[in-house]
Amino acid sequence: METSWFIETLRREGDLLADAAQKAGLDAPVPPCPQWQVRDLLRHTGAVHRWATVFVAEARKDGADWDESAPGDGELADWYRALLTRLADVLAAAPADLDCWYFFAAPSPLVFWSRRQAHEATIHRVDAQTALGAGLSPIDPAFAADGVHELLAGFHGRARSTVRTPEPRTLRVRALDTDADWLVRLSPEPPVVERGAPGPADCTLSGSAAQLYLTLWNRAPYEELSVAGDDALVELWRRTGAIT
């Protein structure tokens, strides 16, 4: 997928997030994040965008301080919009051969940050719209499938993933409205993910790409998905697969 597509998605989803947050009100609870009100959602997502911008704008190869500072309630929505615009503009202006730090495998640092921040904005847009209670804007199936891949192969490909099984097991994740299909090999080591791998699996978890995306990010119930085989593997993922 083109970097420009991720940047356009970031702009759109971030705008939807800010719109929903303003309509919901800063005191509104955020059901997917029980400890948060909408103000916390804006502060968090703005801080993430600001943090990401540092690596891209400065081509930074080492760490950047995490800055949680934010203005008061009256300026919070405009502050978030400004950080969103700054991030998207920096990504759009960055060279294709940008060399900076990033934290799991991707075709390039620029693709990584464009993609990661597009998904960051989308998931938290879902949070803001859930807080508003007015229904969710649709998620493009190809983008949702990309988000599933990022979660499975990116986040859970790292040593910190806690999804482990004592003996080797396999979980297939299948998006029914796209050709996307993943075989997740579980063991005492971090999961190994193969996209489009043939062969049987101990359990298959199926649904639309958007359903899988939201469920695996703990924004929708697992009961909306179809499970075939050993459902204990789905329960294992539900208990241990959350990204915090």
Supply the pLDDT for residue 242. Answer: 87
In this structure, what token pair is assigned to residue 159?
């040593």
Q: Is the pTM of this model over 0.95?
A: yes
Q: Looking at this protein, which amino acid is placed at residue 85?
A: T
Where along the chain do its domains lie?
3-132, 144-240
Residue with tokens 């916390």: 40
Supply the pLDDT for residue 63. Answer: 86
Residue with tokens 């938290």: 124
| Residues 41-77 as b or e (16 or more Cβ within 10 Å = b) | bbbbbbbbbbbbbbbbbeeeeeeeeeeeebeeeeebb
Supply the pLDDT for residue 243. Answer: 81
Render each residue's pLDDT in the chain as its tens digit; 244 residues.
Answer: 799 999 999 999 999 999 999 999 999 999 999 999 999 999 999 999 999 999 999 999 998 889 999 999 999 999 999 999 999 999 999 999 999 999 999 999 999 999 999 999 999 999 999 999 989 999 999 999 999 999 999 999 999 999 999 999 999 999 999 999 999 999 999 999 999 999 999 999 999 999 999 999 999 999 999 999 999 999 999 999 988 7
Q: Looking at this protein, which amino acid is placed at residue 25?
A: G
By C-alpha distance, which of 102, 149, 104, 129 is closest to 41? Answer: 129
For the chain, report the end-to-end CA distance as a whole number of angstroms.
26
State the CATH class of domain 3-132.
mainly alpha
CATH number of 144-240: 3.30.1050.10
Supply the pLDDT for residue 217. Answer: 97
